[in-house]
Structure 1
Amino acid sequence: MGLFNSLKQQAFDMAKEHAMKQIEQKFGSAAAGMISGGGGGGGGGGSNHKVTQTEYEANKPQELRKDIRMLSGCQDHQTSADVSNVSSFQLPDPCGRAGGALTSTLLKVLYADEKSSNEDLSFTEVLEKVREFLQESGYEQIPQLSSMNPIDVKTTFDLVPHTKRGTKRAVMIGINYVGDNPGELSGCWNDVGNMKNYIMDVHGFEEENIVVLLDDGNHTEPTYENIINAYKTIVSQSEDGDCIFLHYSGHGTKIRDDDGGEEGDGYDEALCPRDFQSAGMIRDDDLFDILVKPLADGVHMFSLMDCCHSGSIMDLPYSFKGDGNETEMHLNPGVNIEMFIQQNSGKLFEFMQQQLMGN
């Protein structure tokens, strides 16, 4: 068996080497380098080439060009605040006194933008205004925009692109962890109510297409299983032209990355479902597998994560911090892009093989 396995490995290596030469001839050395190991990040066996944004964009397949964006309340190393009284945020008919800092501040900015006769705010302006309001309230967290593709942050901010004419669906999750001591929150249910009102009133979402999970005894419980199922369902239902809005308000955390993957700091970011103590956390790797990989082409997804340690909680490769210093999107330093490429290189390799066979 040892000789057989050795010969089989040799045959595989020869076939791979031949395929890699073909890919390099057609797509260039950067593409071949991305597939063969990417280098850096302890990938093992690959070159030491550091993938640039230009190389990444030039060679990534359609599977990694999906229209996915995420706005998080803070960076990976930061915590996100719970606001005890949202009256100062001037929300129309707020659902209770308490709320998450990101959700409340973002709604304050967006409602003011809707009423203004001036030109609509850009991504940069929205994030910087959110940051300014947070600072005025004594919070240090910095909002972060992430995406699968680089966004021109000078363009108009939108949760739902005007070009999308299909069905608008949403999954909205608020967890107050009632009875947990310490750990109980007070504003997450209100966040969901306030944001739900906004997407229905401003963006035309219909009640029948909005799934709400709350641990209030009156809605579907936001357990590990129920959250996963809700995410899987909304992705499977959506098709070209549709829009997905995801909103999570609750606890987030960091746990050691156990698969030696794409995390630049060695830790996974994770959501804490209501039953996290028994069922476990929902890691960023899980979110990528459930929300990103199976999403159909042509579907727009916008995710709002109002929780701690959420900067790269969907493992999206691009980021922009609303700190007043950054002026454009760049590859997310919280994501080890070389390992990200390696973990998705199966699709990349398959894509390029198909291109070769078609010519």
Structure 2
Amino acid sequence: RAVLLYANCRRPDEDLSFREVLQRIRDILSSGKYTQIPQLSSSRPFNVATPFELVPKGKEGGTRRAVLIGINYVGMKGELSGCHNDVHNIKDYIMDVWGFREENMTILLDDGQHKLPTRANILGAYNQLVEDSQPGDVCFCHFSGHGGMLPDDNGDEDDGFDETLIPLDFKQTGQIRDDDLYKILVVPMKRGVTLTCLYDCCHSGTVLDLPYNFRPGETEEFEEEANFQFGPLISIAAGLAATCINTNDPANSCCTVS
């Protein structure tokens, strides 16, 4: 993603739309013989032909906050090699192009130099992001590592599986379910905060359990997830004494690119 949006450490000369970003990611994957289809999920439908922006017009004055997570699983089975570099590249991109500041970032890496990306630290970083953010702020979350699937434990998944993020200490503490991310990161976010998440891992297309999905080459615009249960999600929001994402209010939005 950083290669596409920040090649040679500079912003592209052309303003790419959300559709173009997703399609070019798919083209890059296809050229490498990968079959994954990138997906954009959102709390509300919007025109995917609009320019890709982390800081929407009208939100320039708010604080820009970020949580960046990269896990190489050093010394473990399934060790990865590029996730730390992903975080460094994304950090440079959001600072140079979108004006984020390092003092408003939380970075978790298993590199011996940063706070470790354990389950507790990941969820703690997301909790702190929600607590600190105020209306008008812009938030960005990035995760590079392994993703997975677990049997659905509450009956809200048509395919019978929850999508997951795999923290460094998953053997001891378990995987982070999409239900957990929705309850901790999405539902309690204050109205008027813009949240964009980039999850670079397997099975991450619906890892925030958002109702609208766009897949380049598969759909022309956003499509509402079949049989999406808005009722239980609204109940979760009420239980957390928080405002649920209003899918008709563009001032309060959340989306993921995976």
Task: Tell me whether the two structures share a fold, i.e. TM-score over 0.5.
Answer: yes
Show the counterpart of 1:150: 45
Show the counterpart of 1:268: 162
The alpha-carbon deviation at position 122 of structure 1 amounts to 1.2
Q: Label 1:330 to 1:188 Cα distance change in 2 as closer, same or farther (>3 A).
A: same
Superposition map of 1:94-109 within 5 A: 106-109=1-4
2 CA distance for matches of 1:257 and 1:343? 15
Larger radius of gyration: 1
Query: Is residue 2:213 matched to residue 1:319?
Result: yes
SS in 1 for 2:126: helix
Of 132, 145, 170, 2:66 maps to 170
TM-score when normalising by structure 1: 0.63
The alpha-carbon deviation at position 234 of structure 1 amounts to 0.7
Superposition map of 1:1-359 within 5 A: 106-111=1-6, 114-116=11-13, 118=14, 120-164=15-59, 165-181=61-77, 183-260=78-155, 262-322=156-216, 324-333=217-226, 336-338=227-229, 340-345=230-235
Q: Label 1:346 to 1:216 Cα distance change in 2 as closer, same or farther (>3 A).
A: closer
2 CA distance for matches of 1:184 and 1:236? 33
Q: Sequence identity of aligned pairs in percent? A: 53
Q: Which runs of 5+ in 2 are unaligned?
A: 244-258
Q: Label 1:346 to 1:292 Cα distance change in 2 as closer, same or farther (>3 A).
A: closer
1 CA distance for matches of 2:75 and 2:26? 32
TM-score when normalising by structure 2: 0.87
Higher helix share: 1
Show the counterpart of 1:356: none
How many pairs does the alignment contain?
Answer: 238
The alpha-carbon deviation at position 325 of structure 1 amounts to 3.6
Show the counterpart of 1:85: none
SS in 1 for 2:231: helix
AA paired with 2:69?
A: I
Alignment RMSD, CA only?
1.9
The alpha-carbon deviation at position 343 of structure 1 amounts to 3.9
Q: Which runs of 5+ in 1 are unaligned?
A: 1-105, 352-359
SS in 1 for 2:122: helix
Q: Label 1:187 to 1:346 Cα distance change in 2 as closer, same or farther (>3 A).
A: closer
The alpha-carbon deviation at position 219 of structure 1 amounts to 0.3
Query: Per-residue CA shift, 1:51-93, capped at 9, x if unaligned?
Result: xxxxxxxxxxxxxxxxxxxxxxxxxxxxxxxxxxxxxxxxxxx
1 CA distance for matches of 2:232 and 2:117? 33
The alpha-carbon deviation at position 287 of structure 1 amounts to 0.2
